[in-house]
């Protein structure tokens, strides 16, 4: 494997076994709860976060990006540990300023080359891009070649998810055309996706969550077009629904890989409990 460090932010929330196998460094975003401040996935776990989010309505949590100095610290750590280059695969610039912080850090950092990819998505979609880049490096590809693999995977990936309520996305300012569905009957469940600019928008509106999840499966099948795929299933305090969705995905798609993850607390602030979705991209030939 080329001696290249992979950097992601905490919203990617990659499986622990990936962190053990590949040289991955995670830069946490921040959750602010009143006067309290937590590093995403470090100082607060998803379980603790969602429990509090559903029970404590007195203060609404907010989020913020990592600072330039936080990225510089990780870049220096990677170089100190022998990396000859860094590939950072980060949450969409359409919903976060994280890419901007990393770019500013890269301009200051001169020890080894740093390449940054704006994935234009987040969560399991971002994790799938990370895995594709990690495998490319494992096969001996260079920093630039692995970056090209990541960018091509990002172009091919699709993300579909359904929330129980748009209230969280609305409060956090993370919705675009989805906003037009605010105030509609509670049983309307818009299927959300990321557009080419990396912003969240409504792809369709479906009546009831059960029908929305069925439609997500249909959209996944349409994108797969019978090809083998890599799939990530994600949920926010809705493990049972995620497992049911995964079972249907395995039955209906040719999955080269499938994993289930939970939205990190930072994404949970905006998605809200009960959100379920998937990301997929065709397997390389």
User: CA dihedral in degrees (222, 134, 73, 199; nearest 10)?
Assistant: -10
Strands 85-90 and 114-118: parallel
Query: 109 lies in which domain range?
Result: 4-29+65-156
Spatial contact of 129 and 119, defined as CB atoms under 8 Å apart = yes
Decide if 226 is inside a domain.
yes
pTM: 0.93
Confidence at residue 18, expressed as pLDDT on a 0 to 100 scale: 96
| 278, 166: one domain | yes
Q: Which of 156, 187, 204 is a domain's end point?
A: 156
| 137, 195: one domain | no
- Nearest CA among 266, 248, 274, 281 for reference residue 123: 266
The rounded distance, in Å, linking the Cα atoms of 244 and 173 is: 30
Terminal Cα-to-Cα distance of the chain (whole angstroms): 21
Decide if 37 is inside a domain.
no
Decide if 122 is inside a domain.
yes
Three-class HEC string of 102-171: HHHHHHHCCCCCEEEEECCCCHHHHHHHHHHHHHHHHCCCCHHHHHHHHHHHHHHCEEEEECCCCHHHHH
| 121, 162: one domain | no
Q: Which of 125, 156, 187 is a domain's end point?
A: 156
- What is the rounded radius of gyration, in angstroms, for the C-alpha atoms of the chain? 18
Compute mean pLDDT per 10 residues along the chain, 285 residues long, and list them. 90 95 97 95 92 86 96 98 98 96 98 98 97 96 97 97 77 52 58 92 86 95 96 96 97 96 93 93 85
Q: What are the tokens at 153?
A: 């995977």
Q: What are the tokens at 216?
A: 């997500």
Spatial contact of 126 and 159, defined as CB atoms under 8 Å apart = no
Q: How many domains does the chain have?
A: 2
Spatial contact of 165 and 184, defined as CB atoms under 8 Å apart = no
| 135, 145: one domain | yes
Q: Which of 132, 156, 180 is a domain's end point?
A: 156
Spatial contact of 238 and 201, defined as CB atoms under 8 Å apart = no
Strands 200-207 and 188-194: antiparallel
Distances (CA, A) of 94 to 3, 24, 69, 128, 197: 31, 24, 22, 19, 6
| 185, 234: one domain | yes
Decide if 13 is inside a domain.
yes
* CA 204 distance to own-chain centroid: 21
Decide if 40 is inside a domain.
no
Outline where the chain has alpha helix (H): 16-21, 46-55, 68-80, 98-108, 123-138, 143-156, 167-171, 209-224, 239-252, 265-271
Decide if 24 is inside a domain.
yes
- 5 CB contacts (<8 Å, ≥6 apart)? 23, 24, 25, 78, 81, 83, 85, 86, 87
């Amino acid at each position: 494997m080329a001696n290249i460090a992979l950097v992601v932010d905490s919203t990617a929330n990659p499986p622990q076994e990936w962190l053990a196998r590949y040289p991955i460094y995670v830069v946490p975003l921040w959750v602010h709860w009143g006067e309290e401040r937590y590093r995403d996935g470090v100082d607060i776990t998803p379980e603790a976060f969602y429990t509090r989010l559903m029970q404590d309505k007195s203060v609404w949590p907010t989020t913020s990006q990592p600072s330039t100095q936080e990225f510089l610290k990780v870049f220096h750590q990677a170089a100190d540990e022998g990396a000859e280059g860094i590939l950072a695969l980060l949450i969409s610039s359409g919903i976060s300023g994280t890419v901007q912080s990393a770019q500013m850090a890269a301009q200051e950092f001169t020890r080894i080359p740093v390449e940054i990819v704006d994935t234009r998505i987040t969560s399991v979609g971002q994790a799938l891009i990370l895995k594709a880049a990690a495998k490319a490096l494992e096969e001996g590809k260079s920093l630039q070649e692995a970056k090209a693999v990541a960018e091509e995977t990002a172009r091919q990936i699709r993300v579909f998810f359904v929330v129980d309520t748009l209230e969280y996305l609305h409060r956090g300012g993370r919705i675009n055309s989805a906003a037009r569905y605010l105030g509609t009957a509670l049983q309307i469940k818009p299927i959300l996706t990321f557009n080419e600019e990396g912003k969240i928008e409504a792809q369709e509106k479906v009546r009831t969550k059960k029908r929305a999840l069925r439609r997500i499966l249909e959209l996944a099948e349409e994108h797969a077009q019978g090809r083998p795929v890599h799939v990530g299933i994600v949920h926010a305090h809705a493990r049972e629904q995620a497992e049911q969705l995964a079972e249907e995905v395995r039955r209906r798609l040719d999955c080269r890989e499938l994993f289930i993850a939970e939205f990190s607390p930072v994404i949970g602030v905006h998605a809200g409990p009960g959100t379920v979705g998937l990301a997929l991209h065709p397997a390389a030939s």
